[in-house]
C-alpha cells in the first residue's frame, strides 16, 4: 500500500444510506483534494485530524490513485509523521534549486551578436 498523509479541513457527511462521506484534505506537500472517506472511519473523521489516504493505483491498467481516506493517525504520531514528510519536501525543494543553479552555470553563454 502507498499512503499520502493529509490534514482534514472539512468533512461532508453522507446524506443517506447509499451516500459516502467525503473530506477536503490538505496534504503534506500542499496539494488539496476532496476525497471519499472509508466507511470504517467515516463516523470518526473530523476537522483538524491527520489521515492516511490510499494512493495505491486503482488497477494495473489505471495508474490513478484510489484517493480514499482509510486511516486516522493517532494524535501522538501526528507531529512526527508530519515533520518527516515536510522535512522531505524541504530537501526535495533544495535539491531542485541546486539542480537549476547547476544547469544555469553549465549553460553556454548567450551571444548578442546579430541582434539589434
Domain ranges of the chain: 3-106
**Mean pLDDT, residues 22-29:** 95
CA distances from residue 3 to 16, 70, 71, 85, 103 in whole angstroms, order as listed:
28, 9, 9, 12, 33
Quick one: pLDDT at residue 1?
A: 66
Percent pLDDT > 90 in the chain is 54
Q: β-strand 50-54 against 32-37: which pairing, if any?
A: unpaired
Instruction: Count CB atoms within 10 A of the CB of residue 6.
Output: 27
* pLDDT range class, residue 7, cuts 50, 70, 90: very high
- Are the beta carbons of 89 and 83 closer than 8 angstroms? no
Q: Above 80 in pLDDT, residue 45?
A: yes
User: How high does pLDDT run on average in the chain?
Assistant: 89
How many CB atoms within 10 Å of residue 5? 19
Domain 3-106 = CATH 2.40.50.140 = yes
In the prediction, which pLDDT does 115 show? 65
pLDDT tens-digit series, residues 92-110: 888 888 888 887 777 676 6
Secondary element (H or E) of residue 71: strand 68-72
Amino acid at each position: 500500500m502507498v499512503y499520502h498523509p493529509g490534514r482534514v479541513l472539512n468533512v461532508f457527511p453522507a446524506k443517506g444510506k447509499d451516500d459516502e462521506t467525503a473530506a477536503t484534505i490538505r496534504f503534506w506537500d500542499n496539494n488539496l483534494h476532496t476525497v471519499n472517506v472509508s466507511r470504517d472511519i467515516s463516523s470518526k473523521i473530523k476537522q483538524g485530524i491527520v489521515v492516511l489516504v490510499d494512493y495505491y493505483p486503482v488497477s494495473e491498467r489505471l495508474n490513478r490513485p484510489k484517493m480514499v481516506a482509510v486511516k486516522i493517525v493517532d494524535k501522538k504520531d501526528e507531529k512526527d509523521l508530519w515533520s518527516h514528510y515536510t522535512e522531505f519536501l524541504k530537501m526535495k525543494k533544495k535539491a531542485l534549486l541546486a539542480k537549476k543553479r547547476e544547469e544555469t552555470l553549465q549553460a553556454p553563454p548567450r551571444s548578442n551578436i546579430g541582434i539589434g
